[in-house]
Structure 1
Amino acid sequence: MPITITDVAMRAGVSKTTVSRVLNGKGELDAATAARVRQVIAELGYVPKAGAVGLARGRTRVIGMLVPSLTWPWIGEVLQGTVDVVESAGYGLMLFTCNQGDQSMRQFAGQVSAKSFDGLLVIEPEGTLDYINSLHEQGLPVILIDDREHRPRFPSVATTNRIGGASAAEHLLTLGRTKPAVITGEVLWGCTRERLAGFRARLAEAGHPLDPRLVQGGDFTFEGGLRATTRLLQSGIAFDSIFAHNDLSAAGVLQALTEAKLRVPQDVAVVGFDDVPLAAYTNPPLSTVRQPMRAMGEAAARLLMTHLDSGEQLPDEAFIVPTELVVRGSSHPQARSAEN
């Protein structure tokens, strides 16, 4: 049976008139009530008939946000940064995931058609970039929170993956580690290529070209980091450090080195990427390149709401939030000197 306005009203605990006022953006409504009604609309997948929808004539003061899943290690940081800005500005946030694949996207598309939100923030679910770009071309204000170097045809907030990779190389060089190994992320993602390129270029500048035999493919998982490190150890090629392209795979690196009875950082220094909360609690605590995910969420929300409130043009170029090296025990500069 199709979902009706009565179903929405019953689930939200309000009258059909209240639901209608939310849909049409008319009348004074308690913000919490309006947010609850919109959330129920999203949960039920209710799509009002075009003639009944008056949102095109007004504003919802709701921001939509589309993400692949809530299980990614750094998603919580992005969401917190976004919510901090959105709520302080008196907006609501309508969150969509792609946990159920095409069904999730159909539900999301229904809310787009119903004009349930004024603008959209996106952490791109795999394979949806062309669809999101089409929404932008149709007039929906969209900002991509981009950690993958996709460089879309609409506004985005990004970070400095190449510089981050170079800073990891610089740090290892200052420790006297001139034979590093690298465990990459997904090779199809631009951030993987950028992190590797920055790391390789800085080593080459210092006269220590990266040995291609010491570059192992990974998949951004703990198990992938463990397997890649095991392959490195079995290869018999000497290395004195490992740069992993994210913290989860770096945690797998630490596990593999521990199992091989190698000391970190005395025998092998380890550097990750992201600075997720896990990084501070590994053994030893993980040095990493901080990807400023909370700041990226804040920046994207602020850009979108400034555009909605003042009409200020969204930037054509990506808004860049820089990375930052965080040094902890896995590459502590005093570890090797203390033995000498």
Structure 2
Amino acid sequence: MPITIADVAARAKVSKTTVSRVLNGKGELDESTAARVRAVIDELGYVPSSRAVGLARGRTRVVGMLVPSLTWPWIGEVIQGAVDVLETERYGLLLFTCNRGDESMRQFGAQVSAKSFDGLLVIEPEGTLEYIATLHRRGLPVVLIDDRDQTSGEIPSVGTTNHDGAGSAARHLLEIGRRSPLVITGPERFGCTRQRLDGFAGVFADAGLPIAAERTSLGDFTVACGAEAVQTAIANGVEFDAVFAHNDLSALGAMQALLDAGRRIPQDVAVAGFDDIPTAAHTQPPLSTVHQPLREMGEAAARTLLAHFEGTPLPNRPTVIPASFVKRGSTIE
């Protein structure tokens, strides 16, 4: 039979309340009594329920994390950054995805109602921002790990410099003499798409080289959309000497389509992406890309939440970690 708190109390000749106070460090206790209780705990090998201890302390020492899907190639880096911080501080992570739509959100909502975690990290699944904002207004500490656009600023967030990161890719392409880029965007509804397009196009416009509409292709962040954009441009006779894709997956699709069409990379067409997923350094040739500080974003979000648990107010402005451009063989020989 498992050892219970009642067994400890009986052996130490104290009440269960006294044992609980020793376990949780609450209340004033005679040191000799506390020492006796601790000795009995060691003797019996009693392991308290972490949930019971958490409830007694008013804290679960668990952080929830809500993500769209674990299949997105950069999600793992963000989660690992958060986990590195949480485990160091002896917190657990309760992970939720939205893979099954409304059913997933119902299960998540049940855990919110059960107070299964102390605070929430969110990589915003589509269509849930207002729900998350409502939870935050009701008192649940939330930090958004946001590579999109959270214009209201209501929820504390950690993000990166999408506009400036895309601008750095544009400046690099201009420096190597590329004047006619094909741009493969992300979905229009995402704030990061607008920021990356504005940042990239702005640099070319300032250089007197505005990007014509036929050299901008609406994508959806997939390998397929990158390949299709290049195939369509070639079929329509659009001249381009570079590709800037709004994420690395689209860039990988573009590279394959270029190679299939007999175009050399980077001699004929230079290719740049955005994200710097682990695969980017191992393509052939290796992909030049804007490095998103994904792990650092996860770390910063987790630290922000843990600092709040210790009494630091949540910030009222976004935490921004700069992106940087990484030059590799897809743009330079």
Residue 96 of structure 2 corresponds to 96
Residue 230 of structure 1 corresponds to 231
Residue 319 of structure 1 corresponds to 319
Following the alignment from structure 2 to structure 1, what is the Cα–Cα distance between the partners of residues 212 and 22? Answer: 67
The CA deviation at 1:141 is 0.5
Residue 117 of structure 2 corresponds to 117
The CA deviation at 1:312 is 0.8
Following the alignment from structure 1 to structure 2, what is the Cα–Cα distance between the partners of residues 107 and 272? Answer: 36
Residue 183 of structure 2 corresponds to 182
Residue 269 of structure 1 corresponds to 270
Following the alignment from structure 1 to structure 2, what is the Cα–Cα distance between the partners of residues 240 and 135? Answer: 48
Report if aligned partners of 2:5, 2:48 keep a CA contact under 8 Å in 1.
Answer: no
With over 3 angstroms needed to count, the CA separation of the structure-2 counterparts of 1:166 and 1:55, relative to structure 1, is: same
Report if aligned partners of 1:120, 1:140 keep a CA contact under 8 Å in 2.
Answer: yes
Following the alignment from structure 2 to structure 1, what is the Cα–Cα distance between the partners of residues 289 and 224? Answer: 19
Provide the aligned length of Structure 1 versus Structure 2: 299
Following the alignment from structure 2 to structure 1, what is the Cα–Cα distance between the partners of residues 214 and 77? Answer: 35
Residue 139 of structure 2 corresponds to 139
Letter paired with 1:112: V
SS at match of 2:100: coil
Q: Sequence identity, in percent?
A: 58
With over 3 angstroms needed to count, the CA separation of the structure-2 counterparts of 1:237 and 1:33, relative to structure 1, is: farther
Residue 217 of structure 1 corresponds to 218
Residue 253 of structure 1 corresponds to 254
Following the alignment from structure 1 to structure 2, what is the Cα–Cα distance between the partners of residues 285 and 62? Answer: 39
With over 3 angstroms needed to count, the CA separation of the structure-2 counterparts of 1:153 and 1:261, relative to structure 1, is: same
Report if aligned partners of 2:243, 2:269 keep a CA contact under 8 Å in 1.
Answer: yes
SS at match of 1:231: helix
The CA deviation at 1:92 is 1.1
Following the alignment from structure 1 to structure 2, what is the Cα–Cα distance between the partners of residues 204 and 304? Answer: 41
Following the alignment from structure 2 to structure 1, what is the Cα–Cα distance between the partners of residues 198 and 135? Answer: 33
The CA deviation at 1:150 is 2.4
Report if aligned partners of 1:172, 1:241 keep a CA contact under 8 Å in 2.
Answer: yes
Q: 1:240-290 deviations in whole A, cap 9, x for unaligned?
A: 100000000100000000000000000000000000011011111000001
Following the alignment from structure 1 to structure 2, what is the Cα–Cα distance between the partners of residues 209 and 14? Answer: 73
The reply to whether residue 59 of structure 1 matches residue 49 of structure 2 is no
SS at match of 2:325: strand
Following the alignment from structure 2 to structure 1, what is the Cα–Cα distance between the partners of residues 273 and 21? Answer: 51
Report if aligned partners of 1:181, 1:242 keep a CA contact under 8 Å in 2.
Answer: yes
Residue 206 of structure 1 corresponds to 207
Question: So what's the TM-score if we normalise by structure 2?
Answer: 0.84
The CA deviation at 1:185 is 0.8
Question: So what's the TM-score if we normalise by structure 1?
Answer: 0.83
Following the alignment from structure 1 to structure 2, what is the Cα–Cα distance between the partners of residues 92 and 33? Answer: 16
Following the alignment from structure 2 to structure 1, what is the Cα–Cα distance between the partners of residues 322 and 98? Answer: 28
SS at match of 1:329: coil
Following the alignment from structure 1 to structure 2, what is the Cα–Cα distance between the partners of residues 293 and 27? Answer: 41
The CA deviation at 1:230 is 0.4
Following the alignment from structure 1 to structure 2, what is the Cα–Cα distance between the partners of residues 320 and 76? Answer: 20
Letter paired with 1:181: L
The reply to whether residue 298 of structure 1 matches residue 278 of structure 2 is no
Report if aligned partners of 1:55, 1:116 keep a CA contact under 8 Å in 2.
Answer: no
The structure with the largest alpha-carbon Rg is 2
Report if aligned partners of 1:272, 1:287 keep a CA contact under 8 Å in 2.
Answer: yes
Long gaps (5+) in structure 2: 7-15, 25-44
SS at match of 1:135: helix
SS at match of 1:106: helix
Following the alignment from structure 1 to structure 2, what is the Cα–Cα distance between the partners of residues 185 and 27? Answer: 55
Long gaps (5+) in structure 1: 1-12, 39-53, 336-340
Report if aligned partners of 1:262, 1:268 keep a CA contact under 8 Å in 2.
Answer: yes
The CA deviation at 1:17 is 8.0
Following the alignment from structure 1 to structure 2, what is the Cα–Cα distance between the partners of residues 58 and 83? Answer: 22
For structure 1, which segment, 183-192 or 144-153, has the greater mean C-alpha deviation from structure 2 after superposition? 144-153
Following the alignment from structure 2 to structure 1, what is the Cα–Cα distance between the partners of residues 92 and 49? Answer: 9
Report if aligned partners of 2:221, 2:250 keep a CA contact under 8 Å in 1.
Answer: yes
Report if aligned partners of 2:289, 2:326 keep a CA contact under 8 Å in 1.
Answer: yes
Q: CA RMSD in A?
A: 2.6
Letter paired with 1:252: G
The CA deviation at 1:322 is 0.7
The CA deviation at 1:91 is 1.0
Residue 84 of structure 2 corresponds to 84
SS at match of 2:63: strand
Letter paired with 2:101: G
With over 3 angstroms needed to count, the CA separation of the structure-2 counterparts of 1:107 and 1:26, relative to structure 1, is: farther
